[in-house]
Structure 1
C-alpha cells in the first residue's frame, strides 16, 4: 500500500462514505522517531483542529521531565507516531498472504466473498481509514496530570471512559470534518478505540460475530482494536521508542517480527483478531519470540526507570495534594456563594465544612460545579499552564490553604521536590489489593497524613505525603494472541511454553509496587523525626514494613512510635531524641509567635513513663491553632480505629 494509506483505487471506494478528496495526500510531517509521517487531507484537518492541538501542551510522560530533562514530548507527537505504526502493521497483515510463508487469513476470505455491497477493496479501505484515525485520535481525551486527577483523586471520570468529555471535544472539531465522519458510521467505529473502557462489547461479543452485512459499524473490523491498542500494538510500539529516545535511555527494538502478524479468518476462535505466528512449519521462530519479550521487557524497564522513579513520584504526590486542596478551596467558594457556609474559622477544615451542610443535594450540586471548573481548566491548558494558573490565582497570605496550594505549586514548577523518607516495597505477606482498598482512597490517605503529622508535631500537615499506587500498576496483561500451529490460538500469557516467561516479566512489573512517604526538605533533614513518622505510619497501616529498617520488621509493635512507653522499648537515648525533637519544634513555633511555652512543653517529665503520650500532647498543642486542609486537623479523633492486619500469614490462622 502507499505511504499515504490509500491508493487512488481505494479512495474511489469512498470508505465510510467519505469524499475521495478528503482522503487524498495532504502533508508530510517530520518526526524524530519515524522520520516522514504521511497524512491525508482529512488527517491534516483533524491535526490542525483545537481538540488535537491542545495535546501539544500535554506531556506524554507527565512530570518525568523533572528527572529526564529531554522528556518534554507531547501526546500529540505520540498520536502521530501511533498513526504511522498503525499503517505499518496494516501493511504487514494485508501483504502476508503474498509472502513466502502465507497463512490463510481474513483478507483472503474477503477477496473470495464476492460481496457487491462491501467488496474486498472497500473493506480494506475502511479498515485502513479506521486504523489510521484510531491511532491519531486514541489519546484525544487525555488531560494534564490525568492519572492523578482521575485515578488517584477520583475527581474526574477516567479519560478512556469519559463519554461526556469525548462529546465535548468532538463538538469542537469543524463541522465540515464532523459531518461526514458522523454520517457514514465512522464515528461509531472510532469511539471504542478512544473510549476503550467504555466499549460496550466484550471479548465474547467479538467471538460471536454476526454476518458482515448485519454488523453495526463498531463491529465491522475487530482486528483494528488490536492494531491500535492491544499488548503489542501501535500505541506500545511508538511510545516505547519515543519515550526511550526522549529520556535518553538506550533501546534496541526491531520491527521484523511484525511480519508474523496476520488476521484470523471468521469462524475460528478469536475470529477476525490479530494473531502472531511464532513458528514456521514445525520450527519455532525464536527471533519472533525473543522480539516479543524484548518489547515486554522494555515496557518493564520504562516503568522501573521512568514512571516510578522516586523523584517523579514525589512530584506526582505534591501535585495530587495541591489539586485536592485546590478542589476543596473551589468547593468552599461554591458553598459560600450558595450561602450555606458563613463561618470563616470553619472553612479551614473541609470535612467540617461539608459536615455542616445538611442538604446533600447542595453539596452534590457544588461538587458538580467544581468538577466542571476543573474540566474546563484542564482542557484549556497544558501541564505547566495548569500549575502557572493555580500559582497566579492564590496570593492571599491570610488564607492558609491558599498559601499551601501556592507553595506546593511553585515548588513543583521550581523543581523543589519533596524528599523520599520511607519506602515499603512489596513483601510476601502483603495483600496489595486489600491494602489499597483499605488505605488507598483519597479520604483515608488524608486522614492518615493528618494524624501522623499531628503526632510528629508538624504545623503544616501537607509537609507529609503518602503515595499508594494501584495494585495493578496500570499494567496491561500480555494478551497478544499467538499460535504455533495455526490452529491453537491463545494469549501469550497462557502459552504452554512461553507463558511463564511472560508472567515472570509481569510479576516483576507488579513487584515495583511500593508505598512511599515524601516530606518537605525541612522534615526530611531531621532523621529522628523521619523515624518517628515512619514508625507511626507503620502502626497506622497494619504494621507496614519500611525498606532498610529491618529491626522493626520483627514486630510492628516494636516500631519507634509504638515502642515509646511500652514494653517494646528502644534505648532511652533514642526515645529522648524523638520527644525532645518534637518538644523543640513546639517551643520554636511558640517563640516565633511571641508566646511562652508551658513548663511541660519546655522541660517535660524525664522519667519516660509515658513518653509517647508526651509526644502526642506536644503535637496536639503544636497543631491546635493551625489546620488548613492538608495541614493538621485537631478535630480528628485522637485514637484511630485498630488497623487491620495486612499480613495474614503472621499470627493468623488458615
Structure 2
C-alpha cells in the first residue's frame, strides 16, 4: 500500500528550507482554497514600481507559518508550556490568515464587494474548511478570533508585532529590493517571551523592535503607498466600475462566469453570508481573471472601457500629485477643463480623474500594544520604554491627499 509522505520541505528564498509541520498542514496547503493564493499577488500592483514584487500570498502564508514555528520553539525553550495541539493550531491559524484576500490583495477589497473585508471572508473560509476537515480547525479558529484563553496566541497571529507583519516586512523588502525595510526577524523572535499569558519583548530586544517599527513606516511610504502603484489601482478600479455600469445598462461585457456575479452588482455582507454560491464564486477568482478581462476589454466598443483597459495593460498611468492638503476646487476644475477640452463627455469625467487620500501610522496605540518586559519585571509600552522621539512620533497618523488624472487622453478621444 502506497503511503504518501506529507512532511514536505519547501525551499523559501527568504528563509531557506521550510518544513511543513504536520499532515493536516500539508492537506490544507493542497486544498484548492489555499492553492488559489498562488494566483494572488502579495503586493497588488507594486510591480508597476518595483519589477521584482511578483511574489504571492501563498509565499507569504508559508513564510508566516514558518516564523510561527520558530517563535513557538523559542518560547518553549524559555520554559513556556506549548502543547502540540496548540502548536499545530497556531501554525494553521497564521497559515490561513490571508486566505480571504481577493484578486490583487487589498487593491479590489472594496470594489468587488461592499463593506466586506478580507478578515471576515477569511473567517468564513476557515469555517468551511473546518467542516471539510471534520472539526480539526476548531482551536485554530479560536486563536484567530481571539476567543482562546491563552491570549498570546492571537497576539502572535494578529497584533503590532505578529508573525504576519514580521514576514511581510521582511519578504516585501526582499522582493522589492528596498533595503531600508530589512529587519532582524531572528533577533526579534528570540527576544519574545510570555508574561501573564501576554506577548512581551525582553528589554534587550528594544532596539530591534525600534528598527522594525521604523522599517515598517518606511515600507509603507516607499512601497505600499507608492504614488505610482496608487495610480495603477485607480485605473483598475475605474475599469471595473465602468464594466459594471455598462452591464447595468444591458451592454455586453465579457468576463468569467464567477467574476460576472460581482460585476452584475456590488454584494454586501448580508448577501455574501446568506448566498452560499457567492463565496464559492469568490474562491474561484484571482488575479488571472481580472487580467484576462482587461486584455479582452482593450477591444471593447465602449471607448472609455477600452481606454482604461489599454492604460492599465500598457502602464500608461494617470499623473498623480500628492500633497498635505486636499486639492482645491480650482485645481480639480482645471483638471476637468483639460479633460473636457480633449473630448471627454461630461458624464464620463469620473473615469478620468480621482481625488483621494492615503494615511500611515507606524504604531497605532488603539489597536494593540508592544509591551517591553524590563529587567525589573515591570511591563511598559514601547513608547514609554523607548528613548527615541521617533518612536513616539510613529503613533501620529500622517495623511496625504492626492489628485490624479489622465494626461494621455487626447490620444484617444
TM-score normalised per structure 1: 0.52
Note the C-alpha offset of 1:376.
Answer: 6.3
Q: How many residues align?
A: 383
Could you tell me whether the CA contact under 8 Å between 2:361 and 2:394 is conserved in 1?
Answer: no
Could you say which residue in structure 1 is the equivalent of 2:286? 382
Note the C-alpha offset of 1:241.
Answer: 1.5
Aligned pair 1:260/2:241, yes or no?
Answer: no
Could you say which residue in structure 2 is the equivalent of 1:418? 318
Could you say which residue in structure 1 is the equivalent of 2:394? 505
The one of 170, 179, 182 aligned to 2:134 = 179
Note the C-alpha offset of 1:302.
Answer: 1.1
Note the C-alpha offset of 1:77.
Answer: 0.2
Could you say which residue in structure 2 is the equivalent of 1:297? 214
The one of 265, 270, 273 aligned to 2:198 = 273
**Which whole-Å CA distance do the structure 1 matches of 2:190 and 2:113 have between them?**
41
Could you say which residue in structure 1 is the equivalent of 2:305? 405
Note the C-alpha offset of 1:462.
Answer: 4.5
**Which whole-Å CA distance do the structure 2 matches of 1:246 and 1:160 have between them?**
25
> Unpaired segments of 5 or more residues in structure 2?
252-263
Residues 398-450 of structure 1, C-alpha deviation per residue, up to 9 Å, x if partnerless? xx4xx322321232122121122x32225xxx8xxxx9xxx9xxxxx9xx979
Could you say which residue in structure 2 is the equivalent of 1:325? 242
Could you say which residue in structure 2 is the equivalent of 1:129? 88
**Which whole-Å CA distance do the structure 1 matches of 2:72 and 2:201 have between them?**
13
Could you say which residue in structure 2 is the equivalent of 1:90? 72
Could you tell me whether the CA contact under 8 Å between 1:70 and 1:246 is conserved in 2?
Answer: yes
Could you say which residue in structure 2 is the equivalent of 1:149? 108
Could you say which residue in structure 1 is the equivalent of 2:408? 522
Could you say which residue in structure 1 is the equivalent of 2:255? none
Secondary structure at the aligned position of 1:328 is classed as helix
Note the C-alpha offset of 1:57.
Answer: 0.7
Note the C-alpha offset of 1:235.
Answer: 0.9
367 and 232 in structure 1: CA distance in 2 versus 1, 3 angstrom threshold: closer
Q: Which moved more, 1:58-67 or 1:410-419?
A: 410-419
Asked which structure has the greater CA Rg, the reply is 1
Could you say which residue in structure 1 is the equivalent of 2:261? none
Aligned pair 1:27/2:8, yes or no?
Answer: yes
Could you tell me whether the CA contact under 8 Å between 1:463 and 1:520 is conserved in 2?
Answer: no
RMSD: 3.7
Note the C-alpha offset of 1:145.
Answer: 3.6
Note the C-alpha offset of 1:222.
Answer: 1.2
Could you say which residue in structure 1 is the equivalent of 2:226? 309
**Which whole-Å CA distance do the structure 2 matches of 1:407 and 1:170 have between them?**
41
**Which whole-Å CA distance do the structure 2 matches of 1:375 and 1:394 have between them?**
29
Structure with greater strand percent: 2
331 and 476 in structure 1: CA distance in 2 versus 1, 3 angstrom threshold: farther
Note the C-alpha offset of 1:230.
Answer: 1.6
The one of 345, 354, 357 aligned to 1:469 = 357
Could you say which residue in structure 1 is the equivalent of 2:256? none
Note the C-alpha offset of 1:146.
Answer: 4.4
**Which whole-Å CA distance do the structure 1 matches of 2:279 and 2:106 have between them?**
14
471 and 140 in structure 1: CA distance in 2 versus 1, 3 angstrom threshold: same
> Unpaired segments of 5 or more residues in structure 1?
1-20, 98-106, 108-119, 193-198, 200-217, 266-271, 279-284, 335-364, 440-444, 526-588, 590-654
Note the C-alpha offset of 1:382.
Answer: 2.5
Aligned pair 1:55/2:37, yes or no?
Answer: yes
Aligned pair 1:222/2:151, yes or no?
Answer: yes
Residues 175-221 of structure 1, C-alpha deviation per residue, up to 9 Å, x if partnerless? 6x521415xx32541542xxxxxx6xxxxxxxxxxxxxxxxxx3232
TM-score normalised per structure 2: 0.79
168 and 37 in structure 1: CA distance in 2 versus 1, 3 angstrom threshold: closer
